[in-house]
Amino acid sequence: DVKVTQSSRYLVKRTGEKVFLECVQDMDHENMFWYRQDPGLGLRLIYFSYDVKMKEKGDIPEGYSVSREKKERFSLILESASTNQTSMYLCATDPGDSRYEQYFGPGTRLTVT
Amino acid sequence: AQSVTQPDIHITVSEGASLELRCNYSYGATPYLFWYVQSPGQGLQLLLKYFSGDTLVQGIKGFEAEFKRSQSSFNLRKPSVHWSDAAEYFCAVRGYQKVTFGTGTKLQVIP
């Protein structure tokens, strides 16, 4: 079974803080993704990575950056957290073949106060 | 650009009744289509997927979906809903690298 773990289930940060969300997968998947999930908006892609040190912007990259130094780990960074970044963040992976589904972590609910 | 529309934000059905959740997609080539389910406090889990072949696909938990190219639809069905099916359901279309999700349909099951 693919296992995707996220560093925290719940996180509370203050406005202006630098925030790191980490995602680790154990199945040697090529692709990793970060989404944010908001009520009524579904999942929106922030960034994805198809290889180590490679990254691509998704649909809503503003205010975020990412890092992928090792294949199994993909970090999402909020350089200066703002209240409008309060959301559920979901990490996902897939093996790089479009026929295959994505595997999701349990999510991190981030609250910025 | 690819897109997915789930027109129903919230659906309520009685336990034992049939269910159909609607999904319409937009994609230039043959789509890879997915349905995921998210139980409260959980990540998303795959229910079923379509990428070629038979247009009626079977999934887990008794769900099925039918791909209709002429209608650009991929509706999810279940003949008899169980209380444990209460969750949020997401339809998704996969392009070359990116997956685009619909806004989700929240299913409530009443006794």
Domain B3-110 has CATH 3.40.50.300: no
Question: Is A83 strand, coil or helix?
Answer: helix
Q: Find the closest chain A residue to B97 by CA distance.
A: A98
> Average pLDDT, stretch B80-107?
93
Per the CB < 8 A criterion, the answer to whether A89 and A11 are in contact is no
* Domain limits, chain B: 3-110
**Structure confidence by residue, pLDDT tens digits, B33-92:** 999 999 988 889 999 999 888 889 999 999 999 999 999 999 999 999 999 999 999 999
In a domain, A89, yes or no: no
Strand-strand pairing, B105-110 and B10-14? parallel
Question: What six digits make up the tokens of B110?
Answer: 């009443």
Q: Do the beta carbons of residue A111 and residue A98 sit within 8 Å?
A: no
d(CA B58, CA B110): 25
Asked if B90's CB is within 8 angstroms of A98's CB, the reply is no
The pLDDT score that the predictor gives to residue B30 is 79
pLDDT at B78: 98
CB atoms within 10 A of CB B104: 25
First CA to last CA across chain A, in angstroms? 37
The answer to whether residue A87 sits within a structural domain is no
Phi then psi for B2, rounded to 5 degrees? -85, 150
Cross-chain CB nearest to A105 (options B43, B99, B101): B43
Whether residue A93 lies inside any domain: the answer is no
CA distance A48 to B19: 34
Interface test with A, best of B9, B30, B36, B98 (most A CBs within 10 A): B98
Count of positions (residues) in chain A: 113
Q: How many domains does chain A divide into? A: 1
Mutation for A interface: B97, B100, B105, B106, most A CBs within 10 A: B97
In a domain, residue A63? The reply is yes
Q: Give me the pLDDT at residue B41, please.
A: 80
Q: Which domain holds residue A56?
A: 1-7+17-82
Q: Give the CATH number for residue A45.
A: 2.60.40.10
Show pLDDT as tens, one digit a residue, over chain A (113 residues): 669 999 999 999 999 999 999 999 998 999 999 999 999 899 999 999 999 989 999 999 999 999 999 999 999 999 999 999 999 999 999 988 777 889 999 999 999 99
pLDDT, position B48: 95
Distance CA A84, CA A60 (A): 13
Burial class (CB within 10 angstroms; exposed 0-12, middle 13-18, buried 19+) of B70: exposed
* Residues 37-56 (B) with a CB less than 8 A from some CB of A: 41-46, 49, 51
Residue indicated by tokens 């279309």: B93
Q: For residue A109, is it within any domain?
A: no
The reported pLDDT for the residue numbered B104 is 96
Residue A98 included in any domain = no
Q: What is the pLDDT of residue A2?
A: 67
